[in-house]
Structure 1
Amino acid sequence: MDIFTIISVLVFMAAIFGYINARFLNLPNSIGLMVITILFTMIVFGIGYVDDTLINAERYIISQIDFKSVLLDVMLSFLLFAGALHTNFQQLKVQRWPILVFSTLGVLVSTFLVGVSMYYVLQLVGMDISFIYCLLFGSLISPTDPIAVLGILKKAGAPKQLETKIVGESLFNDGVGVVVFLTIYKLAAAGDGVIEPLDILELFGVEVIGGLVLGLALGWGTYKLMKSIDDYDIEVIITLATVMIGTLIAQKFHLSAPLAMVAAGLVVGNDTVRMAAMSKTTETYVDKFWELLDILLNTILFVLIGMEILVLSFTLDYIVAGLIAIPLVLACRYLSLLLPIKFFEKRLDFVPKTNLVMTWGGLRGGISIALALGLTEAMHRDLFLVITYVVVVFSIIGQGLTVEKLVKRITHVPQ
């Protein structure tokens, strides 16, 4: 089965499952697609006891796709650029300091809290796992996923300043979270090898600062090119080229491609840049193109997440550990946001119970699964992959289906 056939099958499944969701379930796309795909896979499992043709075909498709590489090296750049392109830049500017603290200090504190908690919890259930591997799990589960959260929050009708905090944090903590994961991964992989603190700072600094600088440069270059012409077809292609070439440059020089694409998207999507560089026709075509690409990649992503159940090694103790991890991860996120929110809430007029909404609305998604798939067997990959999958499925389905009611109840929006 060649690449074109696999992509065709995935797009076909995304279209059929999307139709079923839109026609019968009417759930947010990310939730509906994942629920339907998991149900489909479970049905295939059942049929497999009689005829294993379908399950073998599904397993073959999954085996031919490097989920970690596809998401982190390809899809994520497009999805983050599209998300940043449609983010309210003025609100983001007002909320820049809390978003910066949430996406850096918040991720680091959450990583440590989850790592420590999981270390002792796993000891209690009879699993002797080294602390560094628990910390590695903390780093991959702490970042919230902008891909999962964007559509759901918009549908919930959250106040703009609250939506900006959650979406803005998700856009940036995603890139920061990947860098934190890679840093701890390097420490864990070194074993008894010595890694100097300066090496860690260099890795972190080059990835984060280099990625942001690259993104700003790409955004400025894109703006200058679009400003010099008035041809909506070519201008759409220029934005597409920005993402593709920018991702290649970031990968070549070991910079953070996610942060670069967020920065580039924010520059190109800024109202000032839009008015100076885009005609109304161009603006419409650019927005519609990236909305369509965003929806297409999202549907494929959540179908893949649902299908990833086939690569998991389910055992009772792994599932128990995953169920315990759900409230633990939520509690650690709540605590990691507590001090920053207390510090900023009076200065920036926060919505009441911001911490509660940001905790419950901070969904985990494909990024966490992709990072977990990158673990080695020595890092207890099967265990942490099952725990991550359980947390992600609960996050997207459980939290995703109820965050709208929570937002409306807290902000007193009529239901």
Structure 2
Amino acid sequence: MDYFVIITILVSIAAVFGYINVRILKFPNTIGLMLITLVFTLVVLALASIDKTLLLAERELITQIDFETVLLDMMLSFMLFAGALHTNFEQLKIQRWPVLVFATLGTLISTFLIGGLMFLVLMLLGLHIPFVYCLLYGALISPTDPIAVLGILKKVGAPKDLEAKIVGESLFNDGVGVVVFLTIYEVAKTTGNASIHVGEVLGLFGREVFGGVMLGLLLGYCTYRLMKSIDDYDIEVIITLAAVMSGTVIAQKLHLSGPLAMVTAGLVVGNDTVRGSAMSEITENYVDKFWELVDILLNTILFVLIGMEMLVLEFKWSYILAGVLAIPIALISRYVSLHGPISMFEKRLDFIPKTNKIMTWGGLRGGISIALALSLTTEMHRELFLVITYIIVVFSIIVQGLTVGGLVRKLMS
């Protein structure tokens, strides 16, 4: 099966799922797609007891996809650029220091907390997983999804400064989380079950983070200069597309963080100053609509892939129990990781009351965590961590996603 056929199938399924959500369910896209994907998975498994034709076809399709290449090297850059492009830059600028600390220190604390606690929980369940792989899991589940929560915050009328904190933190912790994940991933591949050397991790982390941000600033500036020198919305849209694609290739070749580069470039191109001086009104409209479409399409395809991948996993009871226990671990770890940074800045920037509770419950896990889990190797206990990640993402998007609006209203009243 060639890639054109695979893409055709995925886009077609994505279109059907999206139509069902808009026509019938009318949920926010992320929540609706997760529900439909979950139901779809259960239906296929139920039909397999009668006729395994559809299940076998799904499994054949899944085996043809190189998830690490498709998700980490391709889709992620587009999704993060699109998310950054539509972020309120002025509010983010005001909240830049707490956002920076949330995304760096908060992500690192969360990674080690989740990794350590999961190591103990899995040991109690009789699953003796090396600590390095538990740490790898901590890195992939720590990033939160800015797209999943943005629409909900806007709908409930959350304050702009709170929205900037949550969305800005989510954008940057995606980039930082991917860097932490890839750093530990490389160490895990080379050391196996050996201990991790902190200096080696920090060296790789520093190069990826700072190199990625600098590359993003350069890409954003070059894109701005090119767009400012012409007035043709078609070509300007293509320039933004070329910036993402070429930037991703350059980051891969130089071993820098592509996700952080794309977040930084998206913020530069999307800020009000660049928009006002480099884009006409029609160009701004076309650029925004194009990247909104790309983001929705890729997120929809990702949720389809999530459902299809679940069809080939083995759901052991110990895996399911580990996933259920991982839910409070992830929430507690996020609360603890945010407590310090919030305490540092809450008086200076006049944080609204209960910011930590809102950011903890509003920190939805989504496609990026699944994408990272899908890229694990068999030696890294891929099936175990995929099942755990799937359970957390389902809980996060459906339970937290449907209730975070009510929580914001209650805590703000």
TM-score, normalised with respect to structure 1: 0.95
After superposing the two structures, state which structure 1 stretch, 393-402 or 374-383, moved more: 374-383
Q: Is the 1:83–1:150 Cα contact (8 Å) retained in structure 2? A: no
Q: Shift of residue 198 of structure 1?
A: 4.4
Q: Is the 1:79–1:147 Cα contact (8 Å) retained in structure 2? A: no
Q: Shift of residue 141 of structure 1?
A: 1.1
Q: Shift of residue 137 of structure 1?
A: 1.5
Once residues 51 and 196 of structure 2 are traced to their aligned partners in structure 1, the CA distance between those partners, rounded to angstroms, is: 52
Match of 1:311, SS state, is coil
Q: CA RMSD in A?
A: 1.7
Which structure 2 residue ranges, 5 or more long, are not aligned? none
Counterpart in 2 of 1:181? 181
Q: Shift of residue 375 of structure 1?
A: 2.6
Counterpart in 1 of 2:39? 39
Which structure 1 residue ranges, 5 or more long, are not aligned? none
Q: Is the 1:156–1:403 Cα contact (8 Å) retained in structure 2? A: no
Q: Is the 1:313–1:382 Cα contact (8 Å) retained in structure 2? A: yes
After superposing the two structures, state which structure 1 stretch, 325-334 or 294-303, moved more: 294-303
The yes-or-no answer on 1:253 pairing with 2:251 is: no
Q: Is the 2:132–2:195 Cα contact (8 Å) retained in structure 1? A: no
Counterpart in 2 of 1:209? 210
Counterpart in 2 of 1:137? 137
Counterpart in 2 of 1:294? 295
After superposing the two structures, state which structure 1 stretch, 177-186 or 21-30, moved more: 177-186
Counterpart in 1 of 2:234? 233
AA at the equivalent of 1:251: Q
Q: Shift of residue 192 of structure 1?
A: 6.4
Q: Is the 1:38–1:307 Cα contact (8 Å) retained in structure 2? A: no
Counterpart in 2 of 1:402? 403
Once residues 67 and 7 of structure 1 are traced to their aligned partners in structure 2, the CA distance between those partners, rounded to angstroms, is: 13
AA at the equivalent of 2:212: G
Once residues 2 and 371 of structure 1 are traced to their aligned partners in structure 2, the CA distance between those partners, rounded to angstroms, is: 24
Q: Residues 318 and 355 (structure 1 numbering): CA distance in 2 closer, same or farther, change over 3 Å?
A: same
Once residues 332 and 27 of structure 1 are traced to their aligned partners in structure 2, the CA distance between those partners, rounded to angstroms, is: 29
Count of residues paired in the alignment: 412
Q: Is the 1:140–1:178 Cα contact (8 Å) retained in structure 2? A: yes
Q: Is the 1:35–1:306 Cα contact (8 Å) retained in structure 2? A: no
Which runs of at least 4 in structure 1 moved beyond 4 Å after TM superposition? 192-198
Q: Shift of residue 129 of structure 1?
A: 2.5
The yes-or-no answer on 1:74 pairing with 2:69 is: no
Once residues 74 and 157 of structure 2 are traced to their aligned partners in structure 1, the CA distance between those partners, rounded to angstroms, is: 30
TM-score, normalised with respect to structure 2: 0.95
Q: 1:118-170, CA deviations, whole angstroms, 9 ceiling, x for partnerless residues?
A: 12222222222232222222111111123433333333432111111111111
Match of 2:311, SS state, is helix
Q: 1:251-276, CA deviations, whole angstroms, 9 ceiling, x for partnerless residues?
A: 11111111111111111111111111
Once residues 196 and 53 of structure 1 are traced to their aligned partners in structure 2, the CA distance between those partners, rounded to angstroms, is: 48
Counterpart in 1 of 2:389? 388
Counterpart in 1 of 2:163? 163
Q: Is the 1:227–1:276 Cα contact (8 Å) retained in structure 2? A: yes
Q: Percent identity?
A: 70
Q: Shift of residue 193 of structure 1?
A: 6.2
Q: Is the 1:6–1:61 Cα contact (8 Å) retained in structure 2? A: yes
Once residues 277 and 102 of structure 2 are traced to their aligned partners in structure 1, the CA distance between those partners, rounded to angstroms, is: 32
